Structure 1
Amino acid sequence: MFKKIKYLFLISFLFISYLSLAQQSIRLNNNWEFIKQDLGGIWESVRPVGLGNPESVPLWQNVTLPHSVNAEDAVDPDVNYYQGPAWYRTQLAVENPYQKGRTILHFEGAGQKTEVYIYTTKVGAHVGGYDEWTVDITDAVEAFKKSDVYKKQFKGKVPISVRTDNSRDLEMIPSNLSDFNVYGGIYRYLNLVYLPALSIDKMFAKAEVDSLGKLGKLNVKARFYNPNHYGGGSYRLKLIDPSGKIVNETYKKFEISEDLQLLNIEVKKPILWSPDKPALYTVQYEIISSESNYKGEEKIGFRNINFVEKGPFKLNGKRLLLRGTHRHEDQAGLAAAMTEDLIRKEMVMMKEMGVNFIRLGHYQQSRIVLNLCDSLGILVWEEIPWCRGGLGGDIYKQQARTMLKNMIEQHYNHPSIMIWGLGNENDWPGDFPEFDKEKIRTFMKELNDLSHKMDASRYTAIRRCDFCSDIVDVYSPSIWAGWYRGVYTDYKQVSEDEFKKVKRFLHVEWGGDSHAMRHSENPDKALSKIKTGGSADERAGDASLYGGAARISKDGDWSESYITNLIDWHLKEQETMPWLSGTAYWPFKDFSTPVRPDNPVPYMNQKGVVERDLTKKESYYVFQSYWTDKPMIHIYGHTWPVRWGDEGEEKMVKVYANCTEAEMFLNGKSFGIKKRNSQDYPAAGLRWSLPFAKGENIVKVIGKKGKETVTDEIKFNYQTEKWEKPTKMELKKISQQGDEATVEVKLYDNKGVQCLDAINWINFGLTGDGKLLDNLGTSSGSRKVQAYNGRAIISIKLNKGKSVVSVKSEGLPTVFTEL
């Protein structure tokens, strides 16, 4: 008898555990095939395929999800990136454990038009590459399981085919004029979800608190997924504080209605959410029906946000200077198909840089990103991709409405979100013969009203559309001081002028491009050509490298040296602008774009503080020095192997640190202690003029902050020989780790002196067993790239064989090296 009871208990335990697991999402990452073209029809995806069958399409390749159609071609210097249909297919064992349960495919994002098939039956479609959506495949699966082909050909598995399409379409947003790739593929996670017959479709948890933080309110509503039309049931709901204490527990019976209210309570002295202490409460719920139970939870936070009219931003009643950046969904070798681990790494890097605010440009992003913003403490402006091109017709406008509704509903509970963005650069025409400002204003008003109706607790905003600036709650004009217009010392005055024009001012998008590993001894030289004291807005053609007025974006050297100066100036000024709500640097990471083929890394927007593979540029440390508290110190020039100048000339060495003081050493000799002062530009006073020795130099700095000490050290050569124009190149292997080698090409003049300011185009090639690690969109991962200080590097996967690497550059003899 005991054995029987024990056996029944075990079976019961396993079944309950299975149900608990089954109602969670199961990521469908593996066992997918992909083809980068269209098919003649769905039958070509599922028809019997045998070895040697000449009628089968031979081009399917094995992939894992997430996966982007444009993982490589987005930054291929020789082709336009692919925009068109692609197919994915797999076979799944689908076994829903719930009686009368529903089986769902949950797409976290796929671009840009998607169709879903079970065998040959189309079960769903979606337009829009950035919001989440689901397809109920229950009925189609059950019908297919009754067929002979299920048992004979597929041996108990269900064939699933997905067609994605990112073809150009003027009646879709975002516009293809946008400064980012409109990717294709299943580039976010796809989940198989088993639901009981009655479940929650959306849970809306609205947490509020007064500005003093004394009284919180929580309102919880539920929208049910109820295809079998159950009348009701009961629910159990718990509110748990960040320490794990149960604040409220409710059990009630209910009858199903639209957006049913489950809870409406007051919470006295809630633990407040903030960037410093992102305290999250948990709403746990269980829906109990006659068939089965459904469990879930939501994370919420109590915080009070206030953009003061004609003033700064306040969080929980206190001024908070928003220190922000931007994120595009883009990664070297993957395009938009970033894994959760990579997303987490990127967001942690932002937080470690000191970010407390992020604008998600220019579209709804993954739930993973928003969850991390909640837990890390990063305030969010999230927006729909109504970006450039003008305004389309009814189909276009309906997509914008739908994407706004989906974004608000799907991310409603996140305490990190404070702004719903309605558009970006909507003053940028081009997709349609008509560009009517009044029609754009009318539609902007409609979206603004829709946003406030759905969520009155958050602000609305747009960037760069002056003729709509009065419609939204918060406005960001175009200010690119020191890049597209003006000089960076214009920044403060221009910002103050723009601040006076609008109700609430928040400056998003500033900065400039930098070609990673390119440095300059005189980075501000081009500023002398630039007109000062005027507007600093970006205008038509300013991104071009040719023609038009003098501007740093065209006439500057694109060095890391210049951008660190520009950023340094902006950050020191922001500390003396008490009326400023905040800013967001554009962007955190370099990203691919089809509209910049002539940049030093072709098809890359290079304004990031990290490269497309998350390699930090020097500018990352400038932000850290102003925005972080954990002691840090960084000598400028870690990727500057050779500096140059006259013998005996003193050269500036800059140190970016948040230390109170630092001591500098050159080749073992102290050059004194300096104290940090944020208003002592550049480098907040931590700069030294040092007499480098010809040849190798070692620079070391020791910083102190309180009782803690931090150090940094760099080595480099100092070249005093002058050079003329490049006449030859040398190509050498400089390192090898395992089966991966790295080669470097250097440019020399006719006397054999390295040309340290050479920016010649370098074209790497390879023949043999290996493979160039290119199409990464980085300075060291592109086969076509501008030289940085007379050199360029790239790596090669050797594949345990022999290869010959070549380098071509116009006007110079081609060089080779064997690996």
Structure 2
Amino acid sequence: MIKKFIINSIVIALTVVLAHAQGQRTRLINDWKFFRGDLGGIWEAVRTVGEGAPESVPAWTDVTLPHCFNAEDAVDPDVSYYQGAGWYRTLIPITNPYSKGRTLLHFEGAGQKTEVYIYTTRVGSHVGGYDEWTVDITDAVEAVQKNEALQKQFGGKIPLVIRCDNSRDLEMIPSNLSDFNVYGGMMRYLNLVYTPRASVNHLSIASQVTEQGIALLQVKTELRNSGQASATLDIQLISPAGKVIERQRASLTAKDSLYTWNATLKKPQLWSPAQPYLYTVEAKLTSPAGVHIYSEKTGIRSFTFEDHGPFLLNGKRLLLRGTHRHEDHAGVGGAMTEAMIRQEMIMMKTMGVNFIRLGHYQQSRIVLNLCDSLGILVWEEIPWCRGGLGGDVYKAQARRMLTNMIRQHYNHPSVILWGLGNENDWPGDFPEFDKAKIRAFMIELNDLAHATDPSRKTAIRRCDFCKDIVDVYSPSIWAGWYRGRYTEYKEVSRKEFEGVKHFLHVEWGGDSHAGRHSEEAETVVEKITTGSGADERKGDASLYGGSTRVSKDGDWSETYICNLIDWHLKEQETMPWLTGTAYWPFKDFSTPVRPDNPVPYVNQKGVVARDFTPKESYYVFQSYWTDKPMAHIYGHTWPVRWGKAGEQKMVKVYSNCDEAELFVNGKSYGIKKRNSQDFPAAGLRWMVSFANGNNILRVKARKDKVVIEDEITQRYQSESWGNPAKLVAEKIGSDGDTVTVQVKLVDENNILCLDARNWIYFSLAGEGKLIDNLGTSSGSRQVQAYNGRTVIKLDTNAGKNILCVQSPGLPVIFLNLAELKTAAP
């Protein structure tokens, strides 16, 4: 059973606006053509467009934006993901309502090098896949409009062509050694913007809360006057309830390019994760050129990282309960829509998150707007990640991206930390790896960040020889995964905490193969050496060689990861000095450096799968971090348990309720009281003797007067099994032309091999197609079995199809889908 994530109060309150409301703005989403590969030049892109054009060669395909040209190949088990050029083209109508106004293209992010053309005129370019940028196309559009032949050819519209390129380049950040794909394409929204000649170009809003609780606001308005003799600027401050509470009017001349307004609020409504109050600053510029309105949302709050102590928000301790986010999703790669992003961020908030590290690059404005609206504090960083330090071009890009990130996200109250780098102790891109030079550049970036934004702190993760430079440091602590046991977490963290002024632990956890569970998940722990640290060292991420470690020798079960997370969370409740932590990551994501994982090319450390399907660990976090009553029996994706007849098995319930009662096949196994320090499952665990066959498990949990129930059915198998001898396939679901097939590994006596982890390979011949390259355990044509089974979906296209299933050393099976019977429930 997959639980639905619907929070009406949040959905109703959540309206993500394009904060920089410059004039009239339209998202250019539809009617795009795309070609993956390079062209001989811009003429090749436009010669086949419009009336009387010759046949288009090469072939262009229809796409919508946002679009990533690694949407599928990032997790294709048989190929390396494409790194090269990709071209986009469309025809746009231009209807600028302002006389002699400006026509702009506002890019929210495109990867990784981008060139922009109006017809054959190159109007702009940008290097960097994650920061925003704008191109003024006014003159180029006017030139096309004056050309009658072109107007006829293009039907009065303007040809727009964009070339994106994510080719490998050592003098660019991020490094291709990074544990994520350096995606290519128009991965974020592109906006067509009209403004009058005189316009507001940017708003910068700074706030400070005094010891008396008074808020001091400073609003800096950047103007683009374009020679207007006179203009009037009206600024107003709007309360979270929508009431105008302060106003300011100024008369401007053609020479004015910046106007600063200071305001005072005696009783401000402070922003926090529990009450994310947002004010609106609106600037209206009125001139003979027209009226231009520009608005930004902001919040008022104060924060402190205590020296050798906890984190304070608005003067009170707040334990940062965090996670991480990559811009990555099944079927679309880096091109997540606003609806997808909103769903992801609401799922995080529902899990109890109040903090997020955006790894490892500036992310979409939509993400930051949602963090503001939902109440999620942010560490955002530039993509100086691994590889070493390049030359002047490399460093110039890092400086530019840091400056852009701070300027573009300065007004977001959710942001508290600017990240300067990640794992900068990781060499490989250059012959020279000079720690002194890396330190010097880190100092330069630190100074630049503080000069650009004195109100926030700087941070890095895992570069011990630079930890004294930044304000906040996170070491590498992976207790129970890459090294050590998870029971060493508190001891190791305390030691690292004492070594820096401001400690924050980001990145912890481990991989889990969705759907894989274990009756003996802790067996490997007894072989793990203790006392040697819990950091990640060279080679630890490999699945081969070296000392015994859970990441290599464990079973990658959801069972083990739930225990690891459970232990960490219960310990964090007894660490009063702790600022907070951030689990790595929230969702599985694609990576080029992990081809041998159970789902190839996927980092599987997420608490939800790459398609938003929650893993069991999601509910462990909920049980510690949320207040709304919840209860979840471990094992919703564990259809068959096993053991000897009559053997007692542990049933765990993750819940934030005060007490819970378990029923198995209608029989009560008693009431348990929740105690967060009673590991595992905070004391909500029972030893149960299952009956052979199906068992119905139900829990009834109580918090105050609220009763929460959860129920699952698990089959118990007491028959022992031998080695897998053959594959058995069955249809377990269908929805129109979509068919779901389950493949099982059984022994020579047809007994399900519940510990089997064999590789399974799917292929299809016929009129349909596999629904694969999703980067999930049920959406890959090459995948490791979980508890002796795998699942794949197919689109039959209402035609004839033969499914081939292979596993090394076992007989191949061929299945006529039309004849495949549906398994009994």
TM-score normalised by length of structure 1: 0.96
Paired amino acid for 1:244: G
Q: Which residue of 2 aligns with 1:648?
A: 646
Residues 460-504 of structure 1, C-alpha deviations (whole Å, 9 max, x = no match) = 000000000000000000000000010000100000000000010
Give distance in 2, aligned partners of 1:449 and 1:778. 42
Give distance in 2, aligned partners of 1:678 and 1:255. 64
Q: Which residue of 2 aligns with 1:440?
A: 438
1:57 CA displacement: 1.3
Does 2:97 correspond to 1:97? Answer: yes
Q: Which residue of 2 aligns with 1:431?
A: 429
Aligned partner of residue 811 in structure 2, secondary structure: strand
Give distance in 2, aligned partners of 1:235 and 1:241. 20
Kept in 1, the 8 Å contact 2:369–2:412? The answer is yes
Give distance in 2, aligned partners of 1:481 and 1:468. 22
Give distance in 2, aligned partners of 1:198 and 1:799. 55
Residues 193-226 of structure 1, C-alpha deviations (whole Å, 9 max, x = no match) = 00110112221011221366x1101000022234
Aligned partner of residue 679 in structure 2, secondary structure: coil
Kept in 2, the 8 Å contact 1:204–1:413? The answer is yes
Q: Which residue of 1 aligns with 2:747?
A: 749
Kept in 2, the 8 Å contact 1:484–1:536? The answer is yes
The equivalences for 1:670-685 within 5 A come to 670-685=668-683
Give distance in 1, aligned partners of 2:227 and 2:73. 48
Residues 119-152 of structure 1, C-alpha deviations (whole Å, 9 max, x = no match) = 0000000000000001000000101111133222
1:260 CA displacement: 2.1
Q: Which residue of 2 aligns with 1:216?
A: 215
1:21 CA displacement: 9.7
Paired amino acid for 1:221: K
1:555 CA displacement: 0.4
Give distance in 2, aligned partners of 1:686 and 1:383. 39
Paired amino acid for 1:355: V
Q: Which residue of 2 aligns with 1:17?
A: none
The equivalences for 1:99-248 within 5 A come to 99-210=99-210, 214-226=213-225, 228-230=226-228, 233-248=231-246
Q: Which residue of 2 aligns with 1:8?
A: none
In structure 2, relative to structure 1, the CA distance for the partners of 1:678 and 1:231 (3 Å cut) is farther
Kept in 2, the 8 Å contact 1:101–1:197? The answer is yes
Q: Which residue of 1 aligns with 2:80?
A: 80
Give distance in 1, aligned partners of 2:275 and 2:257. 32
Kept in 1, the 8 Å contact 2:48–2:54? The answer is no
Q: Which residue of 1 aligns with 2:398?
A: 400
Q: Which residue of 2 aligns with 1:516?
A: 514
1:48 CA displacement: 3.7
Give distance in 1, aligned partners of 2:177 and 2:511. 20
Paired amino acid for 1:269: K
Kept in 2, the 8 Å contact 1:610–1:620? The answer is yes
Aligned partner of residue 542 in structure 2, secondary structure: coil
Does 2:520 correspond to 1:528? Answer: no
In structure 2, relative to structure 1, the CA distance for the partners of 1:456 and 1:22 (3 Å cut) is closer
Q: Which residue of 2 aligns with 1:28?
A: 28
Q: Which residue of 1 aligns with 2:6?
A: none
Kept in 1, the 8 Å contact 2:50–2:154? The answer is no
Kept in 1, the 8 Å contact 2:658–2:701? The answer is yes
1:296 CA displacement: 1.7
Kept in 1, the 8 Å contact 2:21–2:295? The answer is no
Give distance in 1, aligned partners of 2:610 and 2:255. 48
In structure 2, relative to structure 1, the CA distance for the partners of 1:45 and 1:173 (3 Å cut) is same
Does 2:713 correspond to 1:724? Answer: no
Give distance in 1, aligned partners of 2:480 and 2:255. 56
Q: Equivalent of 2:271, from 259, 270, 273?
A: 273
Q: Which residue of 1 aligns with 2:820?
A: none
Q: Indicate the percent of aligned positions where both proteins have the same amino acid.
A: 67
Q: Which residue of 2 aligns with 1:417?
A: 415
1:164 CA displacement: 0.1
In structure 2, relative to structure 1, the CA distance for the partners of 1:277 and 1:776 (3 Å cut) is same
Does 2:621 correspond to 1:623? Answer: yes
Kept in 2, the 8 Å contact 1:332–1:612? The answer is yes
Q: Which residue of 1 aligns with 2:813?
A: 815
Which runs of no fewer than 5 residues in structure 2 stay unpaired?
1-19, 818-825
Q: Equivalent of 1:793, from 772, 785, 791?
A: 791
Paired amino acid for 1:90: T
Residues 492-520 of structure 1, C-alpha deviations (whole Å, 9 max, x = no match) = 00000000000100000000000000000
Give distance in 2, aligned partners of 1:376 and 1:107. 25
The equivalences for 1:559-574 within 5 A come to 559-574=557-572
The equivalences for 1:469-548 within 5 A come to 469-548=467-546
Q: Which residue of 1 aligns with 2:346?
A: 348
In structure 2, relative to structure 1, the CA distance for the partners of 1:314 and 1:716 (3 Å cut) is same
Give distance in 1, aligned partners of 2:40 and 2:149. 21
The equivalences for 1:274-353 within 5 A come to 274-353=272-351
Give distance in 2, aligned partners of 1:147 and 1:25. 26
Aligned partner of residue 813 in structure 1, secondary structure: coil
Give distance in 2, aligned partners of 1:53 and 1:723. 67
Paired amino acid for 1:788: Y
Give distance in 2, aligned partners of 1:436 and 1:247. 55
Aligned partner of residue 564 in structure 1, secondary structure: helix
Aligned partner of residue 274 in structure 1, secondary structure: coil
In structure 2, relative to structure 1, the CA distance for the partners of 1:211 and 1:461 (3 Å cut) is farther
Aligned partner of residue 142 in structure 1, secondary structure: helix
Which runs of no fewer than 5 residues in structure 1 stay unpaired?
1-19
Aligned partner of residue 297 in structure 2, secondary structure: strand
Residues 620-663 of structure 1, C-alpha deviations (whole Å, 9 max, x = no match) = 00000000000000000001010000001000000000000000
Q: CA RMSD in A?
A: 1.4
The range that moved more, 311-320 or 250-259, is 250-259
1:95 CA displacement: 1.8
1:256 CA displacement: 6.1
Q: Which residue of 2 aligns with 1:4?
A: none
Give distance in 1, aligned partners of 2:169 and 2:186. 19
Residues 57-112 of structure 1, C-alpha deviations (whole Å, 9 max, x = no match) = 14200000000010000000000000000000000111211112000001000000
Give distance in 1, aligned partners of 2:254 and 2:175. 41
Give distance in 2, aligned partners of 1:149 and 1:532. 77
Give distance in 2, aligned partners of 1:633 and 1:518. 21
Q: Which residue of 1 aligns with 2:713?
A: 715
Q: Equivalent of 2:587, from 583, 589, 594?
A: 589
Aligned partner of residue 812 in structure 1, secondary structure: coil
In structure 2, relative to structure 1, the CA distance for the partners of 1:662 and 1:48 (3 Å cut) is closer
Aligned partner of residue 25 in structure 1, secondary structure: strand
Q: Equivalent of 1:385, from 383, 386, 400?
A: 383
The range that moved more, 728-737 or 650-659, is 728-737
1:243 CA displacement: 1.5
In structure 2, relative to structure 1, the CA distance for the partners of 1:482 and 1:217 (3 Å cut) is same
1:724 CA displacement: 1.1
Give distance in 2, aligned partners of 1:471 and 1:58. 52
Kept in 2, the 8 Å contact 1:211–1:317? The answer is no
Kept in 2, the 8 Å contact 1:524–1:562? The answer is yes
Kept in 2, the 8 Å contact 1:26–1:191? The answer is yes
Give distance in 1, aligned partners of 2:652 and 2:601. 31
Give distance in 1, aligned partners of 2:97 and 2:55. 39
Paired amino acid for 1:417: V
Aligned partner of residue 559 in structure 2, secondary structure: helix
In structure 2, relative to structure 1, the CA distance for the partners of 1:53 and 1:256 (3 Å cut) is closer
Aligned partner of residue 745 in structure 2, secondary structure: strand
Give distance in 1, aligned partners of 2:40 and 2:770. 34
1:262 CA displacement: 3.0
Kept in 2, the 8 Å contact 1:731–1:816? The answer is no
Q: Which residue of 2 aligns with 1:7?
A: none
Give distance in 2, aligned partners of 1:160 and 1:516. 43
TM-score normalised by length of structure 2: 0.95
Aligned partner of residue 161 in structure 1, secondary structure: strand
Kept in 1, the 8 Å contact 2:113–2:166? The answer is yes
Kept in 2, the 8 Å contact 1:761–1:809? The answer is yes
1:245 CA displacement: 2.3
Kept in 2, the 8 Å contact 1:221–1:259? The answer is no
